[in-house]
Amino acid sequence: MKTLVFFGGARKKGNTMRMVNYLLENIEGEKEIVYCYDLKNSPCIDCRYCLKHKYCSIKDGMVDIYEKIEEADNIILAAPTYLYGAPGPMKVMLDRFQVYWAQVIRGDKPEVFVKKGAILVSGGGPRFENQFTGISLELADSLHVCNVTEVGRVLMDDADRMKSLDERPEIKEELVKIAQMLN
């Protein structure tokens, strides 16, 4: 089993990464983390090439990303929320998932999803209404277009004031439950 994590945060030792690491400690098999801030991807140019072809017309770092997605059994999308959405480098990558959405137009979208996935999001402030609504929809739809069944999500609020994940046993419990569903 192979688990692929797309990490959208800028801080590789921040709260979102702590959640990723704890989740991965509880998942069996091969694991890989792709750091979106390290990617050299161009944004989607809406050329519509993917409406007739299975791949994107832009030949950049996304070629490797598409291969990794195809090889993975589990896909995790993890990011802090920046103004209710995914950070810019992750958003550029997610927009290039258009090739998967285009399966509907091309008529080759699988009827059964065999991959599983999860969403991990941190927010700096204390919980408030709609704090995670935008990014949750964005990430859930991104998994769905990649033919991934979401098994769960962890939304950690008040992350700026927390010193470690150890102070959040309820978050750790949610991560273990997700790991069990992915194993």
Q: How many domains does the chain have?
A: 1
Question: Where does the chain show beta strands of DSSP type E?
Answer: 2-7, 30-35, 74-80, 115-122, 148-156
Residue 36 carries which DSSP code?
G
Residue 60 CA to residue 53 CA, distance in Å, equals: 16
Q: What is the pLDDT along the chain (183 residues), one digit of tens a residue?
A: 999 999 999 999 999 999 999 999 999 999 999 999 999 999 999 999 999 999 999 999 999 999 999 999 999 999 999 988 999 999 999 999 999 999 999 999 988 889 999 999 999 888 889 999 999 999 999 999 999 999 999 999 988 886 678 889 999 999 999 999 999
Per the structure, the complete domain to which residue 71 belongs is given by 2-182
pLDDT at position 163, please? Answer: 65
**In this structure, what CATH number is given to the domain that contains residue 111?**
3.40.50.360
Taking the C-alpha atoms of residue 12 and residue 107, their distance in angstroms, rounded to an integer, is 39
Q: What is the value of pTM for the model shown?
A: 0.95
3-state class (DSSP) for residue 7: strand
Assign 3-state DSSP to the chain and report helix, strand, coil percentages, each to 5: 40, 20, 40
